[in-house]
Structure 1
């Protein structure tokens, strides 16, 4: 068994235990997947004829339930800990057998896909899902080949299967397991589609450094002259929003590789966070909401099928997935030159970092390893004031290797190429969250535009105390007093107290990298001082 006849040809599933007489749908079009999803009760259509689903119990990733098989290939290479949790071969095989037995009683959907726009780095996938909507997500997010003879990796997702922690060796009933030797990703107990794409990202983060390619959790675009810019940032910092610039071509919004001569997208689509989405603020993302796209966990305006993007009662993590070509000015193939500008985005809810500052090489390494942003009060239970979040390389949850490996690779890039690195605060100014104001998106766009156009290259700069960041004294389209955060606070001593608190958090986080081979990295970070 393990094969299915589709349109007169026989497909070898690559999973011998599967295909035992159940209904199998291979490479269905988005229209057919949407039709089946509606028939199966997996979702509903909005007034714009876009499919919307609820992902159930899980509306986001569950990092503590992501496992990697520890075997001869991985035991001495993986960065083991609370991010990469080891699991044994016996446990993996037993759970794999249970999932396959479960799916053999179900209709399944099979899709062949690829990742990596650069052909020499390409990885082929076979995605086997229990639901039509997860298969639609795979169509939207991965590259869409005409045909794949023998896919290298197999992804099996069974959201309806729940593990028994007491028997199956998991923490709870949901799980994501990666087997690098067998080249299998096994997902169960969760309907959150993002687990599929991030598991593949983790695989690429393990494989590509072996070929001297830096995998990056970043967005990328390029200008009319071909200049590439990349945007690092954690969720909520504006990575997708700022890279979707109508004046530039989008390479991708989330995952890229930096090879010898190019930056290339891993994916064939976008997975945008859409809380507060409007056509005025984010026109390209808004207009990507068209048939074939997939909405997740949204609410509707009363007595209508119109999405209410401000209603976050289900989750703040409402999402829209869509193919890259839904963005009118997307690059095809999704490849750009070596970047001229790198932006580190942070939503600083403490309100002490400048809206934009220029980093030197050592500072760039420091803020890359720090991967800082801040959660705001009210977004999670128990958070009553801004809470600093440090995610190494702006993607700690997806790093199978130690963060310093990726930092070393970035350092080599910075030494080899002439480029600008900027720290951009998309968060608060004039005080912390609750007192200050969110920096206007129009101001952030103006600063990034000025940096890309070289307008900030010759502008005088002033040094920000404590963080030693170099702030431009002027930027077109931005009030000058906004550029230095000290000027926006009513009480400079409150600013000093808050800035010193954040500086202490930075230093505490950096202490784990004191042995990093790149030198005295922690010495370039913030240091507590008195403003006078």
Structure 2
């Protein structure tokens, strides 16, 4: 099937009488309730259940192996190839399936807050609440922009269409397929809305580097003087908590591009985790969940419709989707200058990484590629002690290109803009998980603040003999003894053994980056282990 035929089929679907185009938030909320897709919460948000799938399905995600991109994609377990024939067959089936629905819903918008680099997108949904999600997560067009909007990529999502793996060539009933040539994302068999968000992010991770723009899985904020900070970190490292600063304005909480002009948010909304959410701990997120927001898999009180954020009976991965404009302390449009400071966050459950250390460019590239944090005992079946986990560039599931491409771009931008890079450990000190204790949050905040304020630029440091990291000897508001991890351990030999073990795991993980320069490996990684 040619690209032209794909577009013809899509146009036929959208011209049908069942297509509801660019409905407003109130209209979509009405549709959700009328169609019994969800319930209204006490604050006016829409509460929905995603059924069987409460998270992404990475084994069901594919990229169509097309001539123009086959030599560019980093094929493997993350970027699984699928044939054009399989895609064409499923695409026709899904569109025929949607034509028979009483209603389908269409949203037109953008990915990318910088007008020079933004991607016009279109989202076609079987569910009204999925369209509401798209309306809140992506960038909404003005009335004038809508008049000339032409989608460069279209998501077609049919959650109740289930593939037959034998007939359709998929791994299961679920499929998330990206065709870069036909500019289509085809989703079926899953109600989890996050697949739409991350599919567009994956597409931007392919398109932006082709324009010389570094795409990043990070949060970003800006100070009163215009100084920009980036926060990279996997789940549980404190990325959301530490980037939410009353003295700094939020640029975005998850996905950004770094161009020759500066940083821009890729999204128009936030997709925040809700487990144990409270106004006391995270007031900005708590208060943002109002009319038009979407709550996924959050249990409500049957009578009051008040969300019970502590209840994880449906999943630990409870989520809230809301527009970034629901937060007061933000930058609009979500664009700022070049980063002055970059923070890599890790939750080291082994208790051996320093709470803060300054990184050279090579170390920044090494730790960016490593993307280290820890899984804790009890978080997954079979995990009885802390385990190292590595997610390349802090976002390995969403990188279509070879990881070295992103790391090299980061190194170039650090050099070009003299950005300072710090590794901050929000994990354990005084021993590993179960023996030591979690880093004091007030100490971590003080360290991050000192890094952002330039107070660590000229402070005396000492080099960690195992990891080679430069550790500041003094940080305002933090006891000196906290800064050196070995000093916090009662058993020094146990510390050394655990540190060497983790350093060895870093080195073993890094053997997969064959395309990375020897200089990065030599100067960026642990000295021992």
Matched residue, 2:3: none
Question: Does the 8 Å contact 1:408/1:518 carry over to 2?
Answer: no
The aligned runs of 1:66-105 (5 Å cut-off) are 66-105=61-100
Distance 1:305 1:13, change over 3 A: farther
Q: Give TM-score scaled by structure 2 length.
A: 0.94
1:136 is the counterpart of 2:123 = no
Structure 1 residue aligned with 2:26, among 25, 31, 34?
31
2:208 aligns to what SS in structure 1? Answer: helix
2:13 aligns to what SS in structure 1? Answer: coil
Distance in 2 (CA, whole Å) between partners of 1:427 and 1:212 is 35
- Encode CA deviations 1:293-325: one digit per residue, 9 max, x unaligned: 111112346865322323223222111111111
Question: Does the 8 Å contact 1:294/1:322 carry over to 2?
Answer: yes
- Encode CA deviations 1:176-201: one digit per residue, 9 max, x unaligned: 00000010000111111111011011
Matched residue, 1:118: 114
Distance 1:383 1:17, change over 3 A: farther
Distance 1:18 1:350, change over 3 A: same
The aligned runs of 1:317-466 (5 Å cut-off) are 317-466=317-466
- Encode CA deviations 1:246-292: one digit per residue, 9 max, x unaligned: 11011001111111121101110111122222222222112212212
Matched residue, 2:497: 497
Distance in 2 (CA, whole Å) between partners of 1:124 and 1:181 is 16
- Encode CA deviations 1:337-376: one digit per residue, 9 max, x unaligned: 0100001111212222122111111111110111111111
Gaps of 5+ in 1: 1-11
* Deviation, structure 1 residue 152: 1.3
1:241 is the counterpart of 2:209 = no
* Deviation, structure 1 residue 31: 1.7
1:50 is the counterpart of 2:50 = no
- Encode CA deviations 1:482-529: one digit per residue, 9 max, x unaligned: 222222223222222221111111000111224423635245312436
Matched residue, 2:189: 189
1:307 aligns to what SS in structure 2? Answer: coil
Distance 1:304 1:354, change over 3 A: farther
Distance in 2 (CA, whole Å) between partners of 1:188 and 1:405 is 31
Distance in 2 (CA, whole Å) between partners of 1:25 and 1:236 is 39
- Encode CA deviations 1:1-38: one digit per residue, 9 max, x unaligned: xxxxxxxxxxx997134147552221111122112112
Distance 1:492 1:312, change over 3 A: farther
Distance in 1 (CA, whole Å) between partners of 2:448 and 2:128 is 40
Q: Give TM-score scaled by structure 1 length.
A: 0.94
The aligned runs of 1:162-201 (5 Å cut-off) are 162-201=162-201
Distance 1:79 1:299, change over 3 A: same
Matched residue, 1:270: 270
Matched residue, 2:160: 160
Distance in 2 (CA, whole Å) between partners of 1:522 and 1:512 is 15
Distance in 2 (CA, whole Å) between partners of 1:13 and 1:24 is 16
Question: Does the 8 Å contact 1:293/1:320 carry over to 2?
Answer: yes
- Encode CA deviations 1:461-490: one digit per residue, 9 max, x unaligned: 222231121222222233332222222223
- Encode CA deviations 1:190-238: one digit per residue, 9 max, x unaligned: 1111110110111111111111111111111100000011111122222
- Encode CA deviations 1:91-137: one digit per residue, 9 max, x unaligned: 00001111111111211110001011111101101100111111111
Distance 1:123 1:19, change over 3 A: closer
- Encode CA deviations 1:70-98: one digit per residue, 9 max, x unaligned: 01111111110001001111100001111
Distance in 1 (CA, whole Å) between partners of 2:489 and 2:276 is 27
Question: Does the 8 Å contact 2:363/2:523 carry over to 1?
Answer: no
- Encode CA deviations 1:154-184: one digit per residue, 9 max, x unaligned: 1101111111111111111111000000100
Consecutive aligned runs of 4 or more in structure 1 exceeding 6 Å deviation: none
Question: Does the 8 Å contact 1:447/1:478 carry over to 2?
Answer: yes
Distance in 2 (CA, whole Å) between partners of 1:174 and 1:255 is 25
Distance in 2 (CA, whole Å) between partners of 1:72 and 1:465 is 49
Distance 1:348 1:299, change over 3 A: farther
Distance in 2 (CA, whole Å) between partners of 1:214 and 1:285 is 27
Q: Tell me the number of residue pairs that the alignment of Structure 1 and Structure 2 aligns.
A: 518
1:156 aligns to what SS in structure 2? Answer: strand
* Deviation, structure 1 residue 141: 0.8
Q: Aligned Cα RMSD in Å?
A: 1.8
Distance in 2 (CA, whole Å) between partners of 1:405 and 1:524 is 17
1:181 aligns to what SS in structure 2? Answer: coil
